[in-house]
Every structure is written in structure tokens, then in C-alpha cells.
């Protein structure tokens, strides 16, 4: 079946996580993604967090599916000649180098437009223009500078980073949307454009509701936060622990048998109060004015969740789900990576996929989270370093065997 982005060719200068997640998504939608890597070295993640000696790491393989890899020294004269030809032949160039790296190679946005005015040139940087724009940035720096860390964790503890890679993978998603939008506009304008995504902006965008709460603080306490009404609010949006953040109170409660991930998330909505009390054996509280309304419960939500927890600790998280979900109490088990890896429904939808790799063997990866009915995703293993150099130089750049051999001898590829 044809793929949505078939015919779009991407010059992929990305490394580590943020850029590669973007180009992997575009490859899953059918784009021909040509990943350019430094000869002999490649993307640094090939060698990082290795679990098997001399085999591309899972860090690399899980971010670079469906791509072709070529090695090219873009600082070498011959390498620059090849690079300029690739810019001519590609629709999109994506990069997430430290600020200024491509300019230093001699490929400024002005130069790229001269070579190919239809080129969409997309970049991830840590920050947009401002005091930090020259900084190199990794995931946790973005989480800390984008408002996530100051609003994550418990009130009496330090700021916390989350396990979700909202700075890297989150910004990669933004970049992919920027690229397809720019390609769509190119259909009408005939011109490419620059797409810039800053990781700080991406994290802040995902923390939008916390900026909302910052402004609400000027008009009184945040009643859905655990600090209300018995604790104190300071000047900034506080950390809310496991509070749901919406209009309905929620919390994480312990379940049997008491392992590190034996917990469930339970939300108390007004229509769920009676069935929830019935389930935990506290019918007496259904009509009790001390407990029956959200207003009455609000000052003692901790006691309320403690009562619920007394019951959940006698059930597994899956039993809690089975009992509460049918009676309209929103809840969810805390699922570990071990459980997610073997969940059959995620295998069925292609969200978790088993891939075979020539030097690694079989491994699991997270597939395309975006499902298109006319453009299904087939996950293809990541390329070995430089696996497609000859093929791309001949079929895309149009070079002969002799020219390729000479470039190899000179160290350009």
C-alpha cells in the first residue's frame, strides 16, 4: 500500500534523540530518510548504553528505524560537494546540532536556499533566541527550564524530572508537524522555509495548564491542589504530587500484593461517589453530609483516599480496574515497562513491535503511535553505520563507481 509521505526525501543530519524521533516518524509515514553520519563514528548513541558489545545500542536502534545510513564528512571539501548535491536532491533537511554547527560547516540557511529554494530546513535547539540560545541542551535541562520540573513532584520534595522524554521526543513531534505543515504550504507557494523548534518551548507548551494556574494564583488558592485548604501556597505554581490537575480529585493508591508498581490511579467524580463507596464497603458515607458532596470532601481528601486505599490494598490493581471501571469510577493500573512489553493489545496495534536486527537479533521497540488507515506503518530495523552509502551516492547523487571509490579513498565518506 502507498504511504502518505512517499516521494518525500529527507536529508537527516540528526543525532541523539530529539531529531531522530522526528525523522523516524516521517520515515514511518513513507518518507525516504537518508541519515548522514560521521565516517567511522556515526551517531554517538550507537555506542551509548550498550547492552551487547560491538552491537548498535537499543538507544540507537529504537530511534532510527526505516532510515538509510550514509557516512559523510561534511567538513571535508569532497564531502561538502556531496552534501550540496544531497541538498539539491532532497525536500527536507533536519538537524539538531549544537547552535551554529551547520553554519560552521558552511551551510547557512541563505546558502541552503541558494542551492535548493524548495528545501524545508528544520532544526531543534535547546532554546529560541534569548539569553540561553548558544547552550547545548539535553532532555532534563529542557524539562527543568521549560516548567515541567518545578511543577512535578511533591510539595515537600525537590523539583522532579519525569520519565517521559517530553523535551526530546516531545520536541521531535513538534518538528515533524512543522515539517509536514511547511511541505503543505510549499505545495501552494513553491518555496521551502525554516522550521525551528526549541526544546524549552516544547516543554512549556506541554505545561500550559501550569501557566494557567500561575495566573489563577493571583485570584486565590488553587482548590484542586493538595495544598488546599490545609497547606500554604507560595508565589509560583506549586508541585501537586499525584493530584489529577483537573476539576476532579484523583490520587495514586496502593494495591496488593504491594510491589513497586502495585498501585492504581483513582478519580472521584460526583456520579462515582456512591458506587465507589459501595465497592469499598462504606455505604454509610453515601448520604453522610460530612462526605456526600465534593465541597465536604475537599478539606479531607487525604482521609478519603486513605479509606479507598484500605480497600485497594486488598485487591490487585487489575481487580481494582475490573471492579471500579464498570461502575463509572475512572481509574487505571500503574503499568510497569515489563507489563507493557508483553501486553497483547499493544502488540496487535503495532504500538509495541518485535524487530529483527542482523547483529543484535530480536528486540522490542515502540512503533508508530499515530495510526493512519491509508498509510500503515511497517517497522524496519535501523541501518548499520554507512550501510547505504554506495547505494545513495549512486542512485541519489548520481555518481559512478569510480567517483564513489575516489571519495572513499579520500576519507570523505
Ligand X SMILES: CC(C)(COP(=O)(O)OP(=O)(O)OC[C@H]1O[C@@H](n2cnc3c(N)ncnc32)[C@H](O)[C@@H]1OP(=O)(O)O)[C@@H](O)C(=O)NCCC(=O)NCCS
What does the block give as the cell for 44? 554517538
**Between 172 and 272, CB nearer to ligand X:** 172
Q: How far apart are the first and last CA of the chain?
A: 34
The least distance separating ligand X from the CB of residue 171, rounded to whole angstroms, comes to: 7
Neighbours of 19 (CB within 10 A): 27
Distance CA 238, CA 248 (A): 18
**Between 128 and 231, CB nearer to ligand X:** 128
Distance CA 60, CA 54 (A): 13
The least distance separating ligand X from the CB of residue 108, rounded to whole angstroms, comes to: 13
Residue 47 is given by DSSP the state S
Phi, psi of 337 (to 5 degrees): -60, -35
The footprint of ligand X (CB under 6 A) covers 16-19, 36, 38, 72-75, 96-98, 101, 104-105, 124-126, 136-138, 168
Closest CA to 121 of 95, 89, 83: 95
Which strands sit side by side in the sheet containing 263-267, from one edge to the other? 250-254, 263-267, 331-333
Catalytic residue, from 168, 262, 348, 401: name it: 168
Range list of H helices, 117-271: 139-145, 168-189, 199-206, 208-216
CB-based contact 108:127 (threshold 8 Å): no
**Between 80 and 357, CB nearer to ligand X:** 80
**Between 18 and 143, CB nearer to ligand X:** 18
Active site residue 103: no
Can you point out the beta strands (E) in 32-81? 32-37, 67-71
The least distance separating ligand X from the CB of residue 364, rounded to whole angstroms, comes to: 21
387: left (phi over 0), alpha (psi -120 to 50) or beta: alpha
The least distance separating ligand X from the CB of residue 349, rounded to whole angstroms, comes to: 27
**Between 93 and 301, CB nearer to ligand X:** 93
The least distance separating ligand X from the CB of residue 135, rounded to whole angstroms, comes to: 7
Residues annotated as catalytic (active site), given as ranges = 168
Amino acid at each position: 500500500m502507498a504511504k502518505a509521505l512517499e516521494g518525500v526525501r529527507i536529508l537527516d543530519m540528526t543525532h541523539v534523540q530529539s531529531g531522530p524521533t522526528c525523522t523516524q516518524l516521517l520515515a514511518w509515514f513513507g518518507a525516504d530518510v537518508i541519515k548522514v553520519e560521521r565516517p567511522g563514528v556515526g551517531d554517538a548513541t550507537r555506542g551509548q548504553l550498550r547492552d551487547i558489545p560491538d552491537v548498535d545500542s537499543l538507544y540507537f536502534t529504537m530511534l532510527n528505524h526505516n532510515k538509510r545510513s550514509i557516512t559523510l564528512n561534511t567538513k571535508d571539501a569532497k564531502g561538502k560537494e556531496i552534501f550540496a548535491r544531497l541538498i539539491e536532491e532532497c525536500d527536507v533537511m533536519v538537524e539538531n546540532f549544537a547552535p551554529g554547527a551547520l553554519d560552521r560547516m558552511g551551510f547557512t540557511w541563505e546558502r541552503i536556499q541558494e542551492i535548493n529554494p524548495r528545501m524545508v530546513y528544520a532544526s531543534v535547539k535547546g532554546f529560541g533566541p534569548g539569553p540561553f540560545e548558544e547552550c547545548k541542551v539535553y532532555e532534563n535541562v529542557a524539562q527543568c527550564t521549560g516548567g515541567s520540573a518545578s511543577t512535578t513532584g511533591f510539595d515537600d520534595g525537590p523539583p522532579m524530572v519525569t520519565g517521559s522524554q517530553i523535551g526530546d521526543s516531545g520536541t521531535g513531534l513538534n518538528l515533524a508537524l512543522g515539517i509536514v505543515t511547511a511541505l503543505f504550504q510549499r505545495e501552494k507557494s513553491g518555496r521551502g522555509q525554516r522550521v525551528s523548534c526549541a526544546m524549552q518551548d516544547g516543554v512549556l507548551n506541554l505545561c500550559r495548564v501550569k501557566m494557567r494556574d500561575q495566573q489563577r494564583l493571583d485570584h486565590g488558592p488553587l482548590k484542586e491542589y493538595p495544598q488546599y485548604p490545609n497547606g500554604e501556597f507560595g508565589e509560583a505554581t506549586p508541585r501537586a504530587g499525584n493530584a489529577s490537575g483537573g476539576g476532579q480529585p484523583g490520587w495514586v493508591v496502593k494495591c496488593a500484593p504491594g510491589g513497586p508498581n502495585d498501585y492504581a490511579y483513582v478519580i472521584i467524580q460526583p456520579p462515582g461517589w456512591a458506587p465507589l463507596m459501595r465497592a469499598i464497603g462504606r455505604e454509610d458515607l453515601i448520604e453522610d453530609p460530612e462526605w456526600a458532596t465534593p465541597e465536604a470532601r475537599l478539606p479531607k481528601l487525604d482521609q478519603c483516599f486513605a479509606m479507598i486505599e484500605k480497600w485497594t490494598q486488598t485487591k490487585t490493581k487489575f481487580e481494582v480496574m475490573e471492579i471500579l471501571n464498570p461502575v463509572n469510577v475512572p481509574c487505571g493500573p500503574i503499568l510497569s515497562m515489563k507489563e507493557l512489553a508483553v501486553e497483547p493489545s499493544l502488540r496487535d496495534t503495532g504500538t509495541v513491535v518485535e524487530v529483527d536486527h542482523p547483529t543484535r537479533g530480536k528486540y522490542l521497540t515502540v512503533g508508530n503511535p499515530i495510526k493512519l488507515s491509508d498509510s500503515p506503518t511497517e517497522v524496519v530495523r535501523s541501518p548499520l553505520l554507512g550501510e547505504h552509502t554506495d547505494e545513495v551516492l549512486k542512485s541519489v547523487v548520481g555518481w559512478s563507481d569510480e567517483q564513489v571509490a575516489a571519495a572513499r579513498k579520500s576519507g570523505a565518506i
